[in-house]
């Protein structure tokens, strides 16, 4: 699992794995792009192995991506699950984990890809936004959509209140998707993902 922040999705997935004996997956490793993150503290509290691959120590995206993927492979990871990971992986990741990289994004893609999706939704005056889980391809927040959940934008919402409700949906949706992936129930047909 790849993290860059508070680690709330990491915690939701770790809890889902513990409470569901049929989950079908485990977290082999938690990789962060910098030290001292709350996500690493949450991982340690859950008894998960962690490693920091500092972004600043690599000359370019390619060497950083290879380092992240090599750590994952060395710890027996079969897939990469991005949970608030704020680095864009290079094409090396797609080569090393083809069709096996999942990401979660706080908007209804293809609307508002990239950073600050919640702020962009508010500034555009949308009435609904939400959460998207998708397979990662070589473009940012572009890969085939696996699942989405709608979150209404309420009168008086600010970025913090809307983001909190989006995260509530993330914590419900991501474990369901990761479990389905672990059980081989997600099949890509072009840009469409079919649940079997």
Return the active site residues. Answer: 105
3-state secondary structure (DSSP) of residue 128: strand
Rounded Cα gap, residues 136 and 193, in angstroms: 12
Rounded Cα gap, residues 86 and 116, in angstroms: 11
Rounded to an integer, what is the distance from CA 34 to the centroid of its chain?
17
Q: Can you tell me which residue has the tokens 């059980």?
A: 183
Sheet strand arrangement including 30-32? 50-52, 30-32, 2-3, 80-82, 101-105, 128-135, 145-152, 192-195, 186-189
Rounded Cα gap, residues 51 and 53, in angstroms: 7
């Amino acid at each position: 699992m790849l993290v860059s922040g508070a680690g709330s999705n990491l915690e939701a997935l770790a809890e889902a794995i513990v409470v569901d004996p049929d989950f079908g997956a485990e977290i082999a490793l938690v990789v962060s792009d910098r030290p001292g993150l709350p996500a690493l503290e949450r991982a340690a509290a859950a008894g998960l192995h962690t490693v920091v691959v500092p972004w600043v120590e690599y000359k370019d995206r390619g060497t950083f991506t290879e380092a992240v993927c090599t750590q994952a492979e060395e710890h027996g990871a079969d897939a990469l699950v991005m949970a608030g990971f704020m680095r864009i992986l290079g094409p090396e990741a797609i080569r090393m984990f083809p069709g096996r990289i999942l990401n979660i994004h706080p908007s209804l893609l293809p609307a508002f890809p990239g950073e600050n999706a919640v702020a962009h939704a508010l500034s555009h005056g949308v009435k609904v936004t939400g959460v998207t889980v998708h397979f990662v391809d070589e473009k940012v927040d572009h890969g085939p959509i696996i699942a989405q959940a709608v979150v209404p934008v309420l009168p008086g919402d600010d970025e913090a209140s809307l983001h909190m409700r989006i995260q509530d949906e993330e914590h419900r949706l991501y474990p369901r998707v990761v479990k389905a992936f672990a059980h081989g129930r997600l099949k890509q047909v072009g840009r469409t993902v079919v649940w079997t």
